[in-house]
Amino acid sequence: MAFHYVRLFFQWCDGTALGAWVRGSTWQFPMIETIHILSLAMLYGCIAVISLRLMGLLMKGWTVRNITREVTPYLNWSLGIILVTGTMLWLSEAMKTIDNIAFWTKVVLLFSAIIFHFAVVRRVTRADQVSRGTGFFVGALSLFLWLGIGCAGRAIAFV
């Protein structure tokens, strides 16, 4: 029953002027998706550096706190651009995604990753010292969540 309202909301999204514009002509969708993927690359670079440092695998010349501080502006900006372009792409084909299991997997992973990043990773990386076990666990989970979003996102086109 509740899903009925989700369907109505998706239909409304599908009908927005922005969605129609993105869907409209030949160049909008590819261009927006290119920006989406370029930002994804920037984000993944930052996530890889922070996560693998937390796991104690690479970048040992930096403290967790310093390396996180260096890349955080780039991470935040690329995440912002990804969310904006991703929403635009989604508006253009909302109804196509409603029954797509990969899409819902992506949504769940995305919200989990964002909450995990700002509630846990940011807190852990602000500490002076991170124990090895905590660092490894938090870094690995962060990497898993963000890479999972990419996998699920790619799968939307194939499911």
Give the residues lining the site for other proteins (CB under 8 A).
Answer: 30, 33-34, 37-38, 40-49, 52, 58-62, 70-71, 74, 147, 150-151, 154-155, 157-158
Q: Which residue, 15 or 73, has its beta carbon nearer to other proteins?
A: 73
Residue 28 vs 87, nearer CB to other proteins: 28
Asked whether 56 and 136 are in contact (CB, 8 A), the reply is: yes
Closest approach of Cβ 132 to other proteins, in Å? Answer: 19
**C-beta separation of 19 from 13 below 8 A:** yes
Token digits of residue 98: 């409603």
13 or 51: CB nearest other proteins: 51
Least gap, CB of 58 to other proteins (angstroms): 6
Residue 59 corresponds to which tokens in the numbers above?
Answer: 């970048």
Nearer to other proteins, 40 or 124 (CB): 40
Q: How far is the CB of 21 from other proteins (least distance, A)?
A: 18
CB neighbours of 138 closer than 8 A, spacing ≥ 6? 54, 120, 121, 124, 130
Minimum separation from the CB atom of position 158 to other proteins (A): 4
With 0-12 / 13-18 / 19 or more C-beta atoms within 10 angstroms meaning exposed / middle / buried, residue 141 is middle
